[in-house]
Amino acid sequence: MTNLYNIQEQVAKQVFKSLDGVLLCGGTALARCYLQHRISYDLDFFVNSRFDPQILLNQLNKNSGIKVEETEIDQRDGIAVQIHGMTNVDGLPLKISFIEDVYDGMFPTVWKDMGSASVLTDDLDGLMHRKLRTISGVGLGVTGHPEGGRQAARDLFDIYVLSTTYKPVPQFITEINKHGANFPTESYEVGIKSMDWIVLLEDFDEIETIKPFEVNVRAIRKELERL
């Protein structure tokens, strides 16, 4: 993983030098800055205000030489602006995203070492909140299912590790809601209970864990359904 980590660090340094108001969050921030529990490949940067995708990409390229290609851009009204694409460092590809941060200011941010790079990210509460939101989405939609949530094995594994090594999910949700997070508990519960665990088995097998962590789907399901 030396090459991957070196590339992540090179890109992260350039992004923070080139752009203001960005945080590194997502699985890579969680894994490399805090838990050291699995290999995560993508860099997910969150921007603290609504932005023009082309202006951001041009600024990044002008200030750092980073060119983002194969881009998928979503800037529809009513949803967070998103850019997803690939960049290339020394002939090696790296997926990179820039997303409007709808949770900006909810939790403290901290500078953390990520190898040779220093990155601004959420504290662990903030990253855990974001992970739970991948399941709950913004809340229950008209169909009775989470709106904007997703079902990804890596998210479930991340939440499991957080719940068993940091704070149990029920305790965490209670604590943040007491402080005004307005986390949609019911939507999260529905999302977890409607998971197609059989379909996700292959994805769980592909998670590259770092010792002493390992994937135990039965244990993950038992922990996350303990609401």
- At 1 the pLDDT is 72
Other residues' Cβ atoms within 10 Å of the Cβ of residue 217: 17
Mean pLDDT by 10 residues, the chain (227 residues): 92 97 98 98 97 97 95 93 95 96 97 98 98 90 78 96 98 96 94 94 98 98 92
- At 144 the pLDDT is 79
CA torsion through residues 14, 84, 115, 111, sign: positive
| DSSP assignment of 172-192 | HHHHHHHTT----HHHHHHHH
Amino acid identity of residue 120, one-letter, is L
Q: Where are the alpha helices (DSSP H) in 71-184?
A: 124-136, 153-165, 169-178
Each domain of the chain, given as residue ranges in start order, spans 2-122, 124-224
CA torsion through residues 118, 122, 128, 131, sign: negative
How far apart, in whole angstroms, are the C-alpha atoms of residue 32 and residue 6? Answer: 12
In the block, residue with structure tokens 């229950």? 140
Between the CA of residue 13 and those of 16, 17, 42, 178, 186, what are the distances in Å?
5, 6, 15, 36, 39
Q: Mapping DSSP to helix (H, G, I), strand (E, B) and coil, where does residue 83 land?
A: strand
- At 107 the pLDDT is 97
CATH number of 2-122: 3.10.450
- At 38 the pLDDT is 98
